[in-house]
Amino acid sequence: MNRNRHTPVLLKSALEHLQPRDGGTYIDATFGAGGYARAILDAADCRVLAIDRDPSAIAGGADLVSAYAGRLMLHQARFSELEEIARQVGLTQVDGVVFDLGVSSMQLDEPERGFSFQADGPLDMRMSREGPTAADLLNTLDEAELADILFHYGEERKARAIARAIVRARSQEPLTRTLQLARIVSQVLGGRRTEGRHPATRTFQALRIAVNDELGELAAGLACAERLLKPGGRLVVVTFHSLEDRIVKRFFAERAGKTAQVSRHLPRPAQTRAASFRIVNQRPVTPSEEEVAANPRARSAKLRAAERTEAPHWPLDPATLGVPQIAR
């Protein structure tokens, strides 16, 4: 892929909400092919700290780091390490943070990474190339554990039937290839496409989220951004599926003081926390028809943004944000 031609989804809207300014410092938490980092640096005379957990993205960004001569800092890290990396490079507060979630086009387009069912490849799915692979989970977890992953991380209604088929198939031979898994899922679901999507879409999403702890990392990353943003700083997040969007929506709503009381019959807390964010867009920004036509992967994207207040940051409780708690 030509990295110079990569245009992230909702880039124009993200810049409008982030509002880069001269002299500011910003964090691109999902460097990928460098689209957001480059756009921020071109929009203002500012500095950008960019991170990505994928070593391929870091290696591919070396030329961009050189091109911006000291204005771009690039580090391999997870969302949960964002605050630690910022402090390592001397940043205690920043003016804006942007997250572009999900798997990147580069990762989907490389069969050897195992993220896609469109071409055959090893069942890997690791963004950092470290830790257990998707094949490891598929071949070692019991049927109930697999079903929980497919249901909670993929919102797959046929999770138990698919898990049963996976356990049956691996008793004959280990599951190691993407098309091998895609065939098993398609057979269970009768090869039916839902809303134009391949029947294995939800299963692959669930495994990718489990392998990379994507939802736990998202919650931790949002909390890091909250602690790093100065008053008036903007947090901009682009999500691509309902699980991500739900967590971001709840994070903003809770910290903006808009979380509804669980029951009107329960007593109100004696002391409530001051709102640490002000929601910028009450409704999420979605791609235009033209953007979806140019990039079909953009169809499910949603952008949410909020502005940091002067109130102290809140403690992180992933459960209240809707992060599924799956025992493995």
- pLDDT tens for 21-52 read 999 999 999 999 999 999 999 999 999 999 99
Of 164, 185, 212, the residue at which a domain comes to its end is 212
First to last CA, the chain: 37
**Is residue 135, in this structure, part of any structural domain at all?**
yes
pLDDT at residue 103 in the model: 76
- Above 70 in pLDDT, residue 278? yes
Beta strands in 77-201 (DSSP E): 94-100
- In our burial notation (b when 16+ CB lie closer than 10 A, e otherwise), range 7-39 reads ebbbbebbbbbbbbeeebbbbbbbbbbbbbbbb
- Above 60 in pLDDT, residue 294? yes
Q: Are residues 83 and 230 in the same domain?
A: yes
- Above 70 in pLDDT, residue 139? yes
Q: Which residue has the higher pLDDT, 264 or 278?
A: 278
**Nearest alpha carbon to residue 116 among 34, 208, 192:** 208
Q: Are residues 85 and 24 in the same domain?
A: yes
Q: Are residues 25 and 167 in the same domain?
A: no
Of 191, 212, 233, the residue at which a domain comes to its end is 212
**Is residue 326, in this structure, part of any structural domain at all?**
no
259 pLDDT band (50/70/90 cuts)? low
217 touches 244 (CB < 8 A): no
Which residues constitute the domain of residue 169? Answer: 107-212
